[in-house]
């Protein structure tokens, strides 16, 4: 039984952010030394930035895609996958992360609300496809063969995240909401804690430090994702 939860938990929504992959060696966005310290997000992560300087945007995402080969899932990814496999109720995992470490950690279901580094989207035929190589303005769509129409399948600022209907329905029906390693700065994900509370769910935050939305959580567990996720998963599976 987890402290503060006096009912049997049946449906969990677990939200992750860049902090869950930090101990694998991937930079977060807003911590000191984070990705947005060296790059202005408005020069990289918007449709306007891509239109203005596609070469810069391709380079940024090619480098991040290649970096995935040098990192491995950490204990937090693996423990989340274990919770999904062994919890007798439902665990819906929604991540803001565009890496593939949840999948490589064994998660059977991952909702990538901000897209995926290893997918590209063709603006000519609107198909999204698995992408493992480098891309530039001359790359052709493997489906429709159109040249110069590919963009990273990443949700940029000003765009609507993927699968919002599914996520909102999961939030309306969950009885426990857990957020791990996210700063609570970027919406709509930053608003999920309030949606879950409105639905009557218990809410727990795991973070190394207070986030922008910490005060909306009923319970804060301060520490690294690897150790705090392990304890929480053990408590949930012991019930
Ligand atoms: P941020 O970089 O904004 O926040 C990372 C959070 O993880 C911070 O609150 C840290 O305190 C915490 N953290 C760092 N290391 C940790 C660790 N080892 N254990 C636990 N917590 C740790 O990343 P996000 O909140 O994921 O969007 O950012 C949200 C979105 O902003 C991203 O998906 C991205 C970005 O712009 C797009 O690219 C569309």
Per-residue pLDDT 10s for the chain (239 aa) are 677 788 889 999 999 999 999 999 999 988 888 888 888 888 899 999 999 999 999 999 999 999 999 999 999 999 999 999 999 999 999 999 999 999 999 999 999 999 999 999 999 999 999 999 999 999 999 999 999 999 999 999 999 999 999 999 999 999 999 999 999 999 999 999 999 999 999 999 999 999 999 999 999 999 999 999 999 999 999 96
Cβ–Cβ under 8 Å, residues 125 and 144: yes
Residue nearest to atom 4 of ligand 1 (CA): 183
> What secondary structure letter does DSSP report for 102?
H
In this predicted structure, what is the pLDDT of residue 126? 97
CA distance 121 to 40: 23
Q: Given strand 202-207, what is the order of strands in its sheet?
A: 111-112, 90-95, 11-16, 176-180, 202-207, 219-222
CA distance 7 to 154: 38
Which residues, 6 or more positions from 52, have their beta carbon under 8 angstroms from its beta carbon? none
Answer whether 105 contacts ligand 1 (Cβ < 6 A).
no
Answer whether 115 contacts ligand 1 (Cβ < 6 A).
no
Instruction: Give catalytic status of residue 114 as yes or no.
Output: yes
In this predicted structure, what is the pLDDT of residue 35? 85
Cβ–Cβ under 8 Å, residues 134 and 154: no
For a ligand 1 pocket test, name from 77, 181, 232 the mutation site with the most ligand atoms within 8 angstroms of its C-beta.
181
Phi, psi of 148 (to 5 degrees): 65, 25
Work out whether the CA dihedral 200, 210, 31, 28 comes out positive or negative.
negative
CA distance 176 to 236: 11
In this predicted structure, what is the pLDDT of residue 5? 81
For a ligand 1 pocket test, name from 24, 153, 186 the mutation site with the most ligand atoms within 8 angstroms of its C-beta.
186
In this predicted structure, what is the pLDDT of residue 167? 98
């Amino acid at each position: 039984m987890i402290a503060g939860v006096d009912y049997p938990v049946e449906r969990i929504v677990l939200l992750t952010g860049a902090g869950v992959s930090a101990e694998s060696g991937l930079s977060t966005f807003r911590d000191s030394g984070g990705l947005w310290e060296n790059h202005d997000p408005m020069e990289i992560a918007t449709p306007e930035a891509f239109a203005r300087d596609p070469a810069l945007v391709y380079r940024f995402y090619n480098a991040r895609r290649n970096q995935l080969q040098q990192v491995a899932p950490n204990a937090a990814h693996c423990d989340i996958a274990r919770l999904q496999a062994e919890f007798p109720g439902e665990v819906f995992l929604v991540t803001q992360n565009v890496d593939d470490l949840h999948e490589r950690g064994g998660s059977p279901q991952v909702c990538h609300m901000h897209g995926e580094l290893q997918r590209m989207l063709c603006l000519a035929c609107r198909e999204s496809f698995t992408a493992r190589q480098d891309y530039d303005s001359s790359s052709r769509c493997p489906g429709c063969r159109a040249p110069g129409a590919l963009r990273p399948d990443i949700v940029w600022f000003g765009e609507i995240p993927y699968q919002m209907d599914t996520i909102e329905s999961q939030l309306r029906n969950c009885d426990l909401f857990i957020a791990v390693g996210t700063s609570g700065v970027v919406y709509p994900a930053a608003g999920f804690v309030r949606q879950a509370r409105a639905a009557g769910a218990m809410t727990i935050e795991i973070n190394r430090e207070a986030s922008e939305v910490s005060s909306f959580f009923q319970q804060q567990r301060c520490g690294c994702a690897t150790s705090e996720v392990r304890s929480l998963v053990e408590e949930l599976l012991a019930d």
